[in-house]
Amino acid sequence: MSNDKSSLRPVRFGVIGTGGMGGRHARNLTNEVAAAQVVALADVDEARLQAVAAACGAAHTFADAAELIRHPDVEAVLVAAPDRFHAALTAACIEAGKPVLCEKPLALSAAEALRIVEAEVAGGRRLVQVGLMREYDPAHLRVKQIMDSGALGKALAFHGTHINGGTLSWRTVEDVVTNSAVHDLHSARWLMGDEIVRVFASYVPYSADRPDTARLMLIQLQFRGGAVGRIECNMEAGYGYEVDVKLTGERGSAETNSLRSAVVRHQNQRGQWVEEDWLQRFDTAYIDEVRAWIRSVQLGVADGPSAWDGFASMLVADACIASARSGQPVDVAMPEMADIYRRA
């Protein structure tokens, strides 16, 4: 991911939300992206705000995110506020005509996400990138490159594995789908280059008397072009964090090789350490995500996961929830995608 300091001017940007992901993004932008300058931060937690501002050298701080968006020094905005504010803040950025990288989910419902899409389409050009960051994972990219080369023929099936080490509390079906599986739904759409038209989801609850919770969920996918797919989303694997994909083509398959740890032989085991969470597994991806975003802002040409992707994955997620609840397959009524979302 190149970002040529010499020929392109630096970008002055603001970050809304300085908690976990927001703070990480701010630090990545500051320390890992040559062309980026953090000039503004917004948060209602004043102490946290000032700490991050000091670390990043940000000149402006705001309690009100709307002020940050309006500020003339801010050219582009990264939204890492709590989920319920995502849609409104992104809409405000579109209205202000400023490029925005919004953490996933883009909105709390497909309907709300669709309104963002409509606003952006009305403006005639892409301003929104959504934080569906699997696209920046080197391991995923290698698989995509191989499939795109055509050497393995047309893609027939998508296989996604999303394993979480453990959680502090039981997760509802809704939570599992919208917060975890949504990444895999996006990976499926992105890697297959096709839309999902039907889903079937089933799951193992944390306990039999809490059928609203999902410890492990399996989702089966039907793509518009005839291919199929399957996703495993394990919320409490008990051993570590792993995200992998495999694509089956007509003449072979390609699968991520994501384990980077050393091979250790010890106590009758030939073992490799498995990462604990997404911050470890996707450390490089988070950096490459903001680098690519800054680059696209410099070039004035948005690419990366779009508002459409944010909307579409949410629409499929809603179908998954309905399927898990009803025990029946559910069709996805995907509207036609506007031309501005067509990717190279």
| Contact set for a copy of itself, span 245-284 (CB under 8 A) | 248-257, 259-276
Residue 343 near a copy of itself by CB under 8 A: no
Residues 283-312 that bind a copy of itself (CB under 8 A): none
The candidate with the shortest Cα–Cα distance to 176, out of 244, 242, 103, 234, is 234
Residue 188 near a copy of itself by CB under 8 A: no
H or E stretch at 185: helix 182-192
Residue 333 near a copy of itself by CB under 8 A: no
Residue 327 near a copy of itself by CB under 8 A: yes
- Member of 152, 243, 290, 330 binding a copy of itself (CB under 8 A): 152
Residue 39 or 113: which CB sits closer to a copy of itself? 39
Residue 193 near a copy of itself by CB under 8 A: no
Binding residues for a copy of itself, rule CB under 8 A, total 82
User: What value does the CA radius of gyration of the chain take, rounded to a whole number of Å?
Assistant: 20
Region near a copy of itself per CB under 8 A, out of 92-100, 112-120, 236-244, 308-316: 236-244
- Strand pairing class (228-234; 155-163): parallel
HEC letters along 37-71: EEEEEECCCHHHHHHHHHHHCCCEEECCHHHHHHC
- Shortest gap between Cβ of 227 and a copy of itself (angstroms)? 6
Residue 205 near a copy of itself by CB under 8 A: yes
- The span from the CA of 143 to the CA of 291, in Å, is 21
- The span from the CA of 183 to the CA of 288, in Å, is 17
- Member of 49, 91, 216, 317 binding a copy of itself (CB under 8 A): 216
Rounded to the nearest 10°, the torsion over CA 239, 244, 248, 251 is: -100
Residue 334 near a copy of itself by CB under 8 A: no
Residue 122 or 208: which CB sits closer to a copy of itself? 208
- The span from the CA of 318 to the CA of 90, in Å, is 21
Residue 27 or 115: which CB sits closer to a copy of itself? 27
- The span from the CA of 252 to the CA of 81, in Å, is 42
Residue 42 near a copy of itself by CB under 8 A: no
